[in-house]
A and B are shown apart, each in its own frame.
Chain A
Amino acid sequence: MIATTIALAVLVALLALGSLGTGPVKLSPVTVLDALFGGGSDVQQTIVREIRLPRAILGLAIGAILGLSGAALQGLLRNPLASPSLFGAPQSAAFGAVLMIALGWADVRSWALPVAGITMAFTSVFVLLSIAGRSAGLLLLILAGLAISSLAGAATSLVMNLSANPFAALEIAFWLLGSLEDRSFRHVTLALPFITAGAILLMSQRSAFRALSLGEETAQSLGVNVGRLRLLVIVGVALGVGGAVAVTGTIGFIGLIAPHLMRPLIGHDPTRLLVPSALTGSALLLAADIAVRIIPSTTDIKVGVLTSIIGVPFFLYLIVRERRALGGGVA
């Protein structure tokens, strides 16, 4: 497990280097490192430190919190199909942020965005867990998640529909697709505190996830305060996902995929999966963000679109694999 974690960390570092080197001006890893630590030409320094570094930091941090949130939710619910995006958390956070923009209460670089995003993300996960109840079955969770993400999507559409200015609607629509492009250190300062707080909160509860493998009642008999754990996980996921969505728009499915990629390597222990899932999330998002810059196209592809294009077929594959549980054993 330690070897895998180290290998993942190295991979994430390499991808971060790759992210700093990729763009209209291609830079070799040596040049990137040089410019990063104050060497190279002024132009190279500006490109690496001011244009690409915020993007790489956001990719790394947001990928990590999405992977961690997915692993934590799967651990909390003992359910391999749990993830922030299937619960409508990013969609709800996006609705919160879009509402702020449309009401003119915030430009895209204000604290109101993460706060609104976190509030809505918290509400969505809280409502979902309240509907699904204590012993949430697979089908119930997915249906409730579908309802909540549809509602958030509909609410977002309504805001765009009512928006007085068609250009504002278009801007919101593109923002919603999810992108790390043209992000500055202002965005990093906006998102990073919340992402860090969410990650610390989730990691502080890590050992309880293993005890929860035995069910809520048994975990409680072992000394886990299950009610408090549920609340802390919801808050942690909301802080992380809400903070992330507020600066990048919706980037889905990384939280679903990352833990699944790690299970063949790490095993199913939900506690041991947390850190590797976070690193895998980072690697996935950094790789996707490099890919959107390399794939030749007339308009740039948004990274959130790419993660969904890859994520949804993966979700379908998981449904096929879990279809016995979903169909109640009849299929």
Chain B
Amino acid sequence: MSNQALLTANHLDVTLSGRAVLHDVSLSLQPRHLVALVGPNGAGKTTLLRALAGLLPSSGSVHVDGEALASLSLRERAKRFGYLPQGHVVHWPLDVKDVVALGRYPHGATDPGRLSPADEAAVLRAMQATDVMPFAARRVTELSGGERSRVALARVLAVEAPIVLADEPTASLDPRHQIDVMKKLRDVADSGVLVIVVTHDLGLAARFADTVLVMSDGRLVAHGSPADALSNAIMADVFRISAYRAYYQSETVILPWAGI
């Protein structure tokens, strides 16, 4: 595994309508890692994700593979980040394949009806990796919530970016689909991508992530392995809960138990 940092942020500050929502966040993350970004509601997780992707103005700097984000054009940035927003709505009943093909937009493929062989292959790979092929010709509005989340993930994977940012990809999914999505993201990370996942599910974070970032009140308060970052002290301080801990099939199990 390479120790070269792929994504670094230095002293990120974000102020939205007069309120500091992100305060002096610095981090350095490596490829082939699944990073879980956790914290209570309003801690600034989504803001950090957007700031990293350059979707909102921030002071401080973000570097991708040594290049400053600020020096890149919008399209060059778009090639480096696959961004999966919360809720992943599609406003019109588009065909599934057309939605996935939008992932090639940063690469200049603006017409899903006429993709280059390379773009076509990337779309196909993304649809295969997410098991979207069976309903490729259907409309997104006809799909179930679980199927739709896979389409959204396929669209993000089709970018074939070195970094994937996913904002609560497991929210509103049933347990089976939550595990499915996390497994898929784990596979993506194992293929060499840096994946950052915002989640409220500490159990999923502990089980699937290599690194956990804990945020509270716009600050990064812990950064480490799941065992370190989700210690009893942090659970009490940040989340104000106690947790049940165990090992099952050689994996860490954390079960939020009671408020304190």
Contact at A207–B78, with CB atoms within 8 Å?
A: no
Chain A interface residue count, Cβ-Cβ cutoff 8 angstroms: 23
CB contact under 8 A between A221 and B98, given known A78-B91, A213-B91: no
Is residue A46 contacting chain B, with contact meaning CB distance below 8 A? no
Is residue B224 contacting chain A, with contact meaning CB distance below 8 A? no
What is the CA–CA distance of A217 and B93 in the complex, to the nearest angstrom? 19
Contact at B93–A223, with CB atoms within 8 Å?
A: no
What is the CA–CA distance of A217 and B95 in the complex, to the nearest angstrom? 21
Which residues of chain A come closer than 8 Å to B85, judged between CB atoms? 214-215, 217-218, 221
CB contact under 8 A between A269 and B74, given known A210-B102, A218-B85, A221-B81: no
Min CB distance, A277 to chain B, in Å?
Answer: 14
Contact at B83–A223, with CB atoms within 8 Å?
A: no
Contact at A207–B55, with CB atoms within 8 Å?
A: no
* Cβ 8 A contact of A217, one of B55, B91, B112: B55
Closest to A218 in B: B85
Is residue A276 contacting chain B, with contact meaning CB distance below 8 A? no
**In the complex, per-residue mask of B37-61: 1 if CB is within 8 Å of any chain A CB, else 0:** 0000000000000100101000000
Interface hits, B72-91 → A, CB 8 Å: 74-75, 77-79, 81, 83, 85, 88-91
What is the CA–CA distance of A269 and B159 in the complex, to the nearest angstrom? 20
Which residues of chain A come closer than 8 Å to B75, judged between CB atoms? 223
Most B CB within 10 A of own CB, among A213, A269, A272: A213
What is the CA–CA distance of A231 and B98 in the complex, to the nearest angstrom? 26
Chain B interface residue count, Cβ-Cβ cutoff 8 angstroms: 31
**In the complex, per-residue mask of A203-221: 1 if CB is within 8 Å of any chain B CB, else 0:** 0000100111111011011
Which residues of chain B come closer than 8 Å to A220, judged between CB atoms? 55, 74
Is residue B16 contacting chain A, with contact meaning CB distance below 8 A? no
Min CB distance, A329 to chain B, in Å?
Answer: 16
Question: Could you pull out 18 A-B pairs where Cβ atoms are within 8 angstroms?
Answer: A78-B92, A207-B110, A207-B111, A210-B110, A213-B99, A214-B90, A217-B55, A218-B88, A220-B74, A221-B78, A221-B85, A222-B106, A223-B75, A223-B78, A224-B74, A267-B93, A269-B94, A269-B98
Q: Assuming A221-B78, A271-B111, A272-B113, what are 14 further A-B pairs, CB within 8 angstroms? A: A210-B98, A210-B110, A211-B105, A213-B91, A213-B92, A213-B102, A214-B90, A214-B99, A214-B102, A214-B155, A215-B91, A217-B55, A221-B83, A224-B74
- Give 7 nearest A-B pairs by CB, closest first: A207-B110, A223-B78, A78-B91, A221-B83, A268-B92, A223-B75, A222-B105
